[in-house]
Amino acid sequence: MANTGLLKLEGDSRIAAASKRLDLSRREFLQFCTTVAASLGLPQGADAAVAEAIADKKRPSVIWLQFQECTGCTESMLRSEHPTLEKLILDVISLDYHETLFAAAGHQAEQARRTAMAENKNSYLLVIEGAIPTRDGGIYCKVGGQTAVELTQACAADAAAVIAIGSCASWGGMPSTDPNPTGSSGVATVLGKPVVTIPGCPPNPYNFLSAVVHFLAFGSLPAVDDLGRPKFAYSRLIHENCERRAHFDAGRFAIEFGDEGHRKGYCLYKLGCKGPETYANCPTILFGDAGAGTWPVGCGCPCIGCTEQGVGFSKPIHMLAKVKNVEPPQQYPRIVEEKGTGATLGSAAVLAAVAGAAAGGAAMVARNLGLSHKAEEAAKAQAASEKMEV
């Protein structure tokens, strides 16, 4: 049934059951599947495969570890709306271990993790939030008597796939900034192999959800770039889709926070916006389902480049970004160019007089140049004649 059109699935009993489980109408459920497929950049017909996967397949077990982090990634997940968090963790995936969301604690929580790993060997998803300290044997972060390094390696050994969520897990994020006393590192560095990274501080929950649904539907995680970021979310510069881009192209910039340009929504490039060198889908997917403008630049705050290694938490916040796809000219016209009133008769007469004087002066210069040239030639001839006479 994988090639069946999405509309033909609307009356399928399995779709009806899945819709009921998610507390959605069948139409809303199919719309959700279409949105996920479109977000992933999947070809036509993939929405039906997504719908079937959610309706048919066993929910994937997810083990979620947390290390050096602020819980911002989890907080971002708590604010997802389509679906809401409880539907996500109870009906789309099976979140079998998460320290923050667990009712259990201590030995009970650790036993739940070991049980989930054993029962879903080679089929569970491992999600890691937070950087991993590696200095001094990793003693700066321990859970259940194991260091973060030991836990990561043990849980990754039998995982079907590993996802590093947030900038800290992706490459070290804020904990890894100089002088980095704990040797904070990203998941890929600790494991010594590439992993799927979903950077952001915090990342958008729908980027994570879409990656998980892709795994559920196709048995693999989505295509990634050379940094492990899913291409459907991190293949375009923020600058390309920014709602303030037209102001950048026209040379209209906010110079100070609260000035006239800032209040009018002008480009934030000169306030240090890192959008021109940061890859992410923030301006198109937004945050929090609160309507238009719900992302940092839309709210008047320059992008800090949190999804880009070497930019976020590395460059000073107000340092100018390196524009990757177009270099702005050094000089721009003023935002409001002054208009002339036209020439008066008096000014025209003065201009004509000046022009006439200039023309006359030029003629005299040319004449004098000509005379001096003739005099020079005569002097040369006289000198030659005198030489011959001698």
214 and 256 fall within a common domain: no
104 and 159 fall within a common domain: yes
Q: How many separate domains does the chain show? A: 3
Which residues, listed in sequence order, are joined to residue 267 by a DSSP beta bridge? 253
Cis preceding-peptide flag for 83 (omega within 30 of 0): yes
Structure tokens at 217: 């539907």
**Residues at the annotated binding site?**
70, 73, 168, 201, 239, 242, 267, 273, 282, 303, 306
**Residues at the annotated binding site for [4Fe-4S] cluster?**
70, 73, 168, 201, 239, 242, 267, 273
Tens place of pLDDT for every residue, the chain, 390 residues? 344 566 666 667 777 777 776 667 777 777 777 777 776 666 666 777 777 766 666 677 889 999 999 998 888 888 776 666 556 655 667 788 888 887 777 888 888 889 989 999 998 889 999 999 999 999 999 998 899 999 999 999 999 999 999 999 999 999 999 899 999 999 999 999 889 999 999 998 888 888 887 887 777 888 899 999 999 899 999 999 999 999 998 889 999 999 999 999 999 999 999 999 999 999 988 887 666 778 899 989 999 999 999 999 999 988 998 888 765 555 555 556 555 555 555 555 554 555 555 555 555 544 544 555 555 666 666 776 666 665
pLDDT, position 327: 57
What does the angle CA 73 – CA 74 – CA 79 come to, to the nearest 5 degrees?
100
Which of 10, 39, 56 represents a domain boundary (last residue)? 56
pLDDT, position 76: 84
**What is the Cα–Cα distance from 349 to 17, expressed in whole angstroms?**
89
Q: Are strands 125-129 and 61-66 parallel, antiparallel or unpaired?
A: parallel
pTM exceeds 0.95: no
**What is the Cα–Cα distance from 307 to 302, expressed in whole angstroms?**
14
Q: Is residue 216 part of a domain?
A: yes
Query: 3-state SS string over the chain?
Result: CCCCCCHHHHHCHHHHHHHHHCCCCHHHHHHHHHHHHHHCCCCCCHHHHHHHHHHHCCCCEEEEEECECCCHHHHHHHCCECCEHHHHHHHHCEEEEECCCCCCCCHHHHHHHHHHHHHCCCCCEEEEECEEECHHHHCCCEECCEEHHHHHHHHHHCCCEEEEECHHHHHCCHHHCCCCCCCEECHHHHHCCCCEEECCCCCCHHHHHHHHHHHHHHCCCCCECCCCCEHHHHCCEHHHHCCCHHHHHHCCECCCCCCHHHHCCCECHHHCCCHHHCECCHHHHCCCCCCCCCCCHHHCCCCCCCCCCCCCCCCCCCCCCCCCCCCCCCCCCCCCCCCCCCCCHHHHHHHHHHHHHHHHHHHHHHHHHHHHHHHHHHHHHHHHHHHHHC
Q: Give the phi and the psi of residue 123 in degrees, each rounded to 5.
A: -135, -5
pLDDT, position 43: 65
103 and 220 fall within a common domain: yes
pLDDT, position 1: 39
Q: Is residue 101 part of a domain?
A: yes
**What is the Cα–Cα distance from 32 to 228, expressed in whole angstroms?**
26
Which of 200, 233, 266 represents a domain boundary (last residue)? 233
Q: Is residue 130 part of a domain?
A: yes
169 and 228 fall within a common domain: yes
Q: Which residues form the domain of 49?
A: 1-56
Q: Is residue 136 part of a domain?
A: yes
Task: Return the CATH number at 199.
Answer: 3.40.50.700
**Residues at the annotated binding site for [3Fe-4S] cluster?**
282, 303, 306
Q: Is residue 380 part of a domain?
A: no
188 and 76 fall within a common domain: yes
93 and 182 fall within a common domain: yes
